[in-house]
Amino acid sequence: MTEYERSRTMPAQPEHVFDQAANVGQLDTWLPGELHVESAGLPAVTVHEDRTDEDTSALLRSRPEQMRLEWGTRDQGSYAGWLQVAGIGSGASEVTVHLSFFDEGHDPGEQAVSEALDGSLRRLEEQVRLRVDNAAG
């Protein structure tokens, strides 16, 4: 099993960050560009990966009371992950994403995962900023 984790501080209330991250209709705005999530009725989702051109049955659970998202493959159990939002005071939040690959064949490698996590957290922060700025304006 291989695990990866990244965190990023965002200048927004944790509720705003979590609401943006957990919005299933807008996951494509911050997930890696090669991943596309379609919901057929939560928690069931289908994840399409452009790299392999495959659809994977997965689960996505939102736990708003904990400000946590959890996901993983449904049938083959090859990966799982979670996103946790925590308030750190002064209107800021810390977002942590953790990925676990149980099947080495599904792990794209440390460099690819690190770049994907960093890029996803950066895009999530951009989406949160847009939402907060639009709400304030």
What are the pLDDT digits (tens) for 64-94? 999 999 999 887 778 899 999 999 999 999 9
pTM of the predicted protein model: 0.91
Q: What is the DSSP letter of 66?
A: G
Distance of alpha carbon 85 from alpha carbon 83, whole angstroms: 7
Please give the chain's pLDDT, 137 residues, in tens.
999 999 999 999 999 999 999 999 999 999 998 899 999 788 999 999 888 898 989 999 999 999 999 999 887 778 899 999 999 999 999 999 999 999 888 888 999 999 999 999 999 999 999 887 776 65
Residues 6+ apart with CB under 8 A from 126: 30
